[in-house]
Amino acid sequence: MTDVPRLAVFGLVGMPEVSPGDDLAAAIALAAARPGSELADGDVVVVTQKIVSKAEGRLVAVDPDDPLSHKPLVEAESVRILRRRGELIISETSHGFVCANAGIDLSNVDRGFAALLPEDSDRSARRIRDALRHRFGVDVAVVVSDTFGRPWRRGVTDVAIGVAGLRPIADLRGTHDTYGRELQVTEVAVADEIASAAELVMGKASGVPVAVVRGIPSAWFGTGSVRDDVVRAPADDLFR
Amino acid sequence: MTDVPRLAVFGLVGMPEVSPGDDLAAAIALAAARPGSELADGDVVVVTQKIVSKAEGRLVAVDPDDPLSHKPLVEAESVRILRRRGELIISETSHGFVCANAGIDLSNVDRGFAALLPEDSDRSARRIRDALRHRFGVDVAVVVSDTFGRPWRRGVTDVAIGVAGLRPIADLRGTHDTYGRELQVTEVAVADEIASAAELVMGKASGVPVAVVRGIPSAWFGTGSVRDDVVRAPADDLFR
């Protein structure tokens, strides 16, 4: 009988409101101290971009009475505009992400402020991971997640914009299917799938900005980066 | 204290090899009879496209010695070719899916055959759901999943190509963030996120073609269709 992995996915309740300069790892460790929420070695801790941006002070004052006041920021944070329709801008950010409004939005931020993406969300993930490891004694991988749209399909899904302690792409080249044939579609974006799984327990309205995914195969842990491993170079991209 | 949803995701081991005409619901019910794998009302059963296509006889004989023998099928199954690079074709299928090779591949199929997508994978999902409900007495939602690439990011993720008993898009319009501000990014593709969560326990090589996601909020259950609710009309799409 095959040993099938079994995942548990749960949100961390009791995270405080996050402000610039706050110690995210300490806040996560505190929320994880609640019975039933304890972190374990080998867990993946998924942290939404918004609280990372807030903790890192990536907030910009905007006119609170103008719902489009963040649009000039979108242009400033973009290295390339791919599409415009009405007020919607799809652009490429300095990180290489292609998303709406350069990842900037006004939800779950104090009125009068817009939150930019972290400068380097792989580094953000590493800092949280290192702090959880060295100060709180738990060896977890960290994913920083954000909510992106995509072409061709309606609706948004959460993806990984930063990782630490996790290889974001599981490369199955050289492995074989159940018929013994070598697999051709071989690079699975497991960090994005983990971010999506976490979103299912976080929601957009529920005030649960951190979730834990438990049961990920140990082979997926290791050194990796969204920027280096997931972002597709424009030259390799058929749609840029 | 907020009541946070908690998901369990597990694969069904012991699924038999599937051949044309096989009764998928019966095979799922049998695999789910193993201790620890029992289905419960409110579960989402995620079934990979490949076994649905096989059960529905969507197999076409191809030259077993030619690794590109399925390429003429790709053109026949496409209504529009979006991009070509080398042997890779990105096209739109009759269902409205945009994916590589019209969703046709050779992995996990008997040598000498290629598997086409189901004709109507929402209908496929409905049939499985109805059979599990009426013949096996369990009220679950069903997602038929497939593995698609995407622009801008490396790696593939699993998405929903058919649903039954589930609204594939959770519409949060009218709900508010934790600051009381009305949410703007409001349509979450939960069926795709469920498919991605399930992929994490299925893998491509492990012979686990069915997984169960337990703990999905009851509000997401209902009537829905990938074709009607998720597929974006070309006119609404900025990248077609």
Of B12, B90, B194, the CB nearest to A200: B194
Residue-wise over B185-205: b if at least 16 C-beta within 10 A, else e?
bbbbbbbbbbbbbbbbbbbbb
What pLDDT, on a 0 to 100 scale, did the predictor assign at position B3?
Answer: 65
Task: Identify the closest residue of chain B to A64 by CA–CA distance.
Answer: B181
Would you call B154 and A205 a contact, using CB atoms and an 8 Å cutoff? no
For the question of an ipTM over 0.85, the answer is yes
Residues 63-102 of B with CB under 8 A from A: 82-83, 85, 90, 97-98, 100
Of B169, B199, B205, the CB nearest to A154: B169
What confidence category does residue B86 fall into, taking pLDDT thresholds of 50, 70 and 90?
A: confident
Would you call A201 and B5 a contact, using CB atoms and an 8 Å cutoff? yes
Taking CB atoms and an 8 Å cutoff, what residues of chain B touch A10? 4-7
Model confidence pLDDT, tens digit, residues A68-100: 888 899 999 999 999 998 888 999 999 999 999
* CATH code of A104's domain: 3.90.1660.10
Terminal alpha carbon distance of chain B: 46
Would you call B7 and A197 a contact, using CB atoms and an 8 Å cutoff? yes
* Same domain as B89, residue B18: no
Task: Identify the closest residue of chain B to A170 by CA–CA distance.
Answer: B155
Q: What total of structural domains would you count in chain A? A: 2
Report DSSP state, residue B21.
Answer: T
What pLDDT, on a 0 to 100 scale, did the predictor assign at position A58?
Answer: 97
* Same domain as A98, residue A141: no
* Same domain as A129, residue A24: yes
Answer with the one of A117, A137, A156 that is the final residue of a domain.
A117
What pLDDT, on a 0 to 100 scale, did the predictor assign at position B71?
Answer: 87
Would you call B197 and A193 a contact, using CB atoms and an 8 Å cutoff? yes
Q: Distance, in angstroms, between A13 CA and closest chain B CA?
A: 7
- CB proximity B105 to A under 8 Å: yes
* Same domain as B85, residue B128: no
Task: Identify the closest residue of chain B to A210 by CA–CA distance.
Answer: B4
Would you call A153 and B230 a contact, using CB atoms and an 8 Å cutoff? yes
Of B4, B107, B237, the CB nearest to A151: B237
Model confidence pLDDT, tens digit, residues B43-77: 999 999 999 999 999 999 999 888 888 889 999 99
Highest average pLDDT, of A224-238, B118-132, B159-173, comes from B118-132
* Same domain as B202, residue B153: yes
State the average pLDDT for chain B.
91
Q: Is the pLDDT of residue B21 over 70?
A: yes
Domain that holds residue A102: 59-117
Whether residue B239 is contained in a domain is answered as: no
Taking CB atoms and an 8 Å cutoff, what residues of chain A touch B108? 177-179, 181
Residue A135's CB is within 10 A of a number of other CB atoms, namely 12
Closest CA to B19 of B47, B60, B57, B46: B57
- CB proximity B59 to A under 8 Å: no
Whether residue B237 is contained in a domain is answered as: no
Answer with the one of B72, B91, B117 that is the final residue of a domain.
B117
* CATH code of B193's domain: 3.30.1330.100
* Same domain as B106, residue B24: no
* Same domain as A126, residue A48: yes
Q: Is the pLDDT of residue B152 over 80?
A: yes
Least confident range from A57-61, A112-116, A185-189, B60-64: namely A185-189
Task: Identify the closest residue of chain A to B213 by CA–CA distance.
Answer: A7
- CB proximity B201 to A under 8 Å: yes
Whether residue B80 is contained in a domain is answered as: yes
Whether residue B2 is contained in a domain is answered as: no
**What's the gap between Cα A39 and its chain centre?**
19
